Amino acid sequence: MFEIFKKFSKKKDEKKSYSFPFSYYSGSGISNANRDFGRISDEAYLQNVIAYMAVNKIAICASGINLQVLDSSGDIVADSALNDLLERPNVSQSQKEFFIDLISYYALSGNSYILQNFGVSNDVNRAQPIELEIINPAFVTICQSMRNTIPESYRVDLRDGTQVVYPVDQVTGMSQIIHVKSFNPAPNSKFIGTSSASPSSRAIDSHNEASEWNLSLLRNGARSSGAIVAPDGMNLSDEQFNKLRQELEQSYSGASNAGRPMLLEGGLDFKEMSLSPKDMDFINSQSNSARDIARAFGVPPVLLGLPGDSTYNNQEEANQSFYDDTVIPTLALALNKLNMAMSDKFGGLTISFDKNEISALLPRRKQLWEIAESSSFLTINEKRELVGFAAVDGGDVILTSTSEIPLGFAETDDEKQMFINALVSDGLDEAVAKSMADLKYVETKR
């Protein structure tokens, strides 16, 4: 792979294009899968329940947030071509299905590719897309010129074996392909995002191996393997040995034969090999791996029902953190890429969402409302701004209890003293009476 750099260094004046496919195989196990999305999707998603739950939770929660179309002033637009496209991105998917696919591919591979269908037009800079379609990252190859800072084209492999190349405008950076990707520090992977399965690859391999071990143990009746011991002086011929092994595999192996009594002859004896507590400690090993996988995908382990995580006081707090740290940033990144590609084509309209409408964050909003409501030193408009509402006419005033008035409203100091005298005459201690007078005639600092 490093040959490309040698070629480039020898011929500086020759412009060459090189392809960096998303997929290639190297070694075994997901920790060696590198950028092979086929293996990642198989071993990290189809075979690992923790990664499967994490990806689904991110995608379903992100797709469940209500989206809205805004004009350049920030006002909500209810009827436009962008609204129609957002409601039905393509003939086979609803908005929710579309974003589940988009977020799932991004969470699993670090890349999502969206193909814009412009109809009869080929103008990637001006034409409005009439459809948006998600492309499986396994079918996409990014081609780049070594001198450019943006891709040269995207090559898509079709199921019939043909290929379609979608060029990138080298001036505007526009293409029919909208690429949503995560950060990747690798110098030769500049245009390919990092899969969340990469940093958790060893944990996924460990979790899968532990699951396979436990399954094998269960198939053997939850018992360890043993040895068949021949008496002293007895040697089995190759034919006898192979026949015995074949009989053991056919009659005593597998879940259907668990617990079946073994019939031995010729003085043969079965000796069970016990496992040490250390060898049997797969529960803790699996739990640790499961928590590492969940964290790598940005999901608090407690939300996946994993024990042993005490980072959050309760599930409500963990859910808020999940939305703050994972769901909202992921959806915001996807919408940002969509808006960069389509906003100008739809007259400056953008796709957005209102955080105040996210149900998972309502407990925090409720707490903020209570703080604003109990703040006696804030004006009405200041309280409204604190909770995200617009100012109203006449709202630049402070409301106060009818039992409290500003000190300046008292006609004379004698009025306050008369109030104190009245309380003392009723038998109240003078110090207490003065304190009550101070509370009654509150001096407002505003």
146/257 same-domain check: no
Looking at residue 78, its pLDDT comes to: 93
More confident residue, 395 or 217: 395
Looking at residue 274, its pLDDT comes to: 62
Residue found under tokens 């750099």: 5
CA atoms within 13 A on the CB side of 384: 13
Any idea what DSSP says for residue 324? I
Looking at residue 5, its pLDDT comes to: 31
266/397 same-domain check: no
In sequence order, the 6+-apart residues with CB closer than 8 A to the CB of 154 are 113, 140, 141, 142, 143, 165, 166, 168, 175, 177, 179
Lowest mean pLDDT among 47-56, 328-337, 394-403: 394-403
Count of structural domains within the chain? 3
Average pLDDT over residues 152-170: 91
Looking at residue 444, its pLDDT comes to: 36
349/379 same-domain check: no
Looking at residue 91, its pLDDT comes to: 95
Average pLDDT over residues 99-110: 95
121/176 same-domain check: yes
Looking at residue 34, its pLDDT comes to: 39
More confident residue, 430 or 157: 157
Looking at residue 33, its pLDDT comes to: 38
Question: H-type helices in 132-237, by residue range?
Answer: 201-219
Query: Which range has the top average pLDDT, 240-249, 312-321, 322-331?
Result: 322-331
How far from chain centre, in Å, is Cα 346?
29
Average pLDDT over residues 198-211: 85
127/265 same-domain check: no
Lowest mean pLDDT among 21-35, 60-74, 251-265, 351-365: 21-35
Q: Considering the entire predicted model, what is its pTM?
A: 0.69
More confident residue, 176 or 23: 176
331/254 same-domain check: no
CB 313 within 8 A of CB 67: no
Average pLDDT over residues 157-182: 92
Looking at residue 298, its pLDDT comes to: 94
Looking at residue 439, its pLDDT comes to: 62
Domain assignment present for 213: no
Domain assignment present for 215: no
Does the pLDDT of residue 238 top 70, yes or no?
yes
Report the b/e string of 88-125 with b at 16+ CB within 10 A: ebbeebeeeebbbbbbbbbbbbbbbbbbbebeeeeebe
Looking at residue 396, its pLDDT comes to: 80
More confident residue, 332 or 238: 332
Average pLDDT over residues 187-204: 86
Looking at residue 402, its pLDDT comes to: 53
Q: Which of 331, 353, 375 is the C-terminal boundary of a domain? A: 353
More confident residue, 91 or 31: 91
Looking at residue 431, its pLDDT comes to: 77
Domain assignment present for 310: no
Does the pLDDT of residue 171 top 80, yes or no?
yes
More confident residue, 113 or 382: 113
55/170 same-domain check: yes
More confident residue, 156 or 18: 156
Q: How far apart are CA 175 and CA 114, in angstroms?
A: 10
Per-residue confidence band for 375, with pLDDT thresholds at 50, 70 and 90: confident
Query: Hey, which residues does 156 pair with through a beta bridge?
Result: 140, 164
Lowest mean pLDDT among 142-146, 279-283, 300-304, 430-434: 279-283
Q: How far apart are CA 99 and CA 59, in angstroms?
A: 7
Question: H-type helices in 252-361, by residue range?
Answer: 277-280, 282-296, 315-322, 328-342
Per-residue confidence band for 7, with pLDDT thresholds at 50, 70 and 90: very low
62/137 same-domain check: yes
263/391 same-domain check: no
47/93 same-domain check: yes
155/258 same-domain check: no
Range of 256's domain? Answer: 225-273
More confident residue, 143 or 369: 143
Looking at residue 79, its pLDDT comes to: 95
191/253 same-domain check: no
Share of residues in the chain with pLDDT > 90 (%): 36
